[in-house]
Amino acid sequence: MGRTLENKKEIVAELQGLLSEAQLAMVIDFKGLSVAEISDLRNRLREKGAICKVTKNTLMRIAVENDDNWQPMTQFLKDSSAFLLVQDDLGGAIKAYKSFQKDTKKTELRGGVMEGRALTTADLEAITELPTKEELIARIAGAINAIPTKLAVGTNAVPKKLAVGIKEVPSSLVRAIKAVSEKDEAA
């Protein structure tokens, strides 16, 4: 028994909702995967804030047809497709998929879509080399933490230099007076 029209409309609405929350969508060919392997992929992706959705290409095509942001995905819709919808950790989700692909050797990444642009596998690989959200936060925190340290060092150096300068004034004054008195004695 096939799906009813009402059921298909619900699936399309669900896909549109998932796409509205996603930053990146990847399309993979999942032919040959067992249910256990798909469950494994879903678990790996869930840890990275991503969802693996298996649906008919026709339903996904309907879900993206009026959305310019996801329209380029239609070029990847062929054969058996699974859609990896990534919300936050782009690099982590791609790495999780690559790890799964390496373990099973059964899937093929066709491409992806991000911000209305179709991405090749090379583009997706480049995303994995970007720092993660946590790494960026750590770098920013380190930079912010360095500012008070540099300020404290600079503030501490001012009184030292001022003290050295003040200490130097009397000895310079003594040398100047001594030089003037020796000049007067010589004349």
Question: Is position 141 within any domain?
Answer: no
Regions in the chain scoring below 70 on pLDDT:
1-2, 131-132, 153-154, 156-158, 161-165, 169, 187
- Considering the domain architecture, whether residues 29 and 120 belong to the same structural domain is answered as yes
Q: Specify the pLDDT at position 162.
A: 67
By DSSP bridging, strand 81-86 and strand 24-29 are: antiparallel
Helix (H, G, I), strand (E, B) or coil at 40: helix
Residues contacting 58, CB < 8 A, separation 6+: none
Length of the chain: 187
**What range defines the domain where residue 58 resides?**
5-130
- Considering the domain architecture, whether residues 99 and 154 belong to the same structural domain is answered as no
Helix (H, G, I), strand (E, B) or coil at 28: strand
- Considering the domain architecture, whether residues 68 and 102 belong to the same structural domain is answered as yes
Q: Specify the pLDDT at position 20.
A: 84
Q: Specify the pLDDT at position 89.
A: 78
In 139-174, which positions are buried (b, 16+ CB within 10 angstroms) versus exposed (e)?
eeeeeeeeeeeeeeeeeeeeeeeeeeeeeeeeeeee
Q: Specify the pLDDT at position 132.
A: 67
Q: Specify the pLDDT at position 82.
A: 86
The string of pLDDT tens digits covering residues 78-118 is: 888 888 888 877 888 888 888 888 888 888 888 888 888 88
The string of pLDDT tens digits covering residues 49-61 is: 888 888 888 888 8
- Considering the domain architecture, whether residues 31 and 82 belong to the same structural domain is answered as yes
Helix (H, G, I), strand (E, B) or coil at 22: coil
What is the domain count for the chain?
2
Question: Is position 135 within any domain?
Answer: no
Single-letter amino acid, residue 138 = A
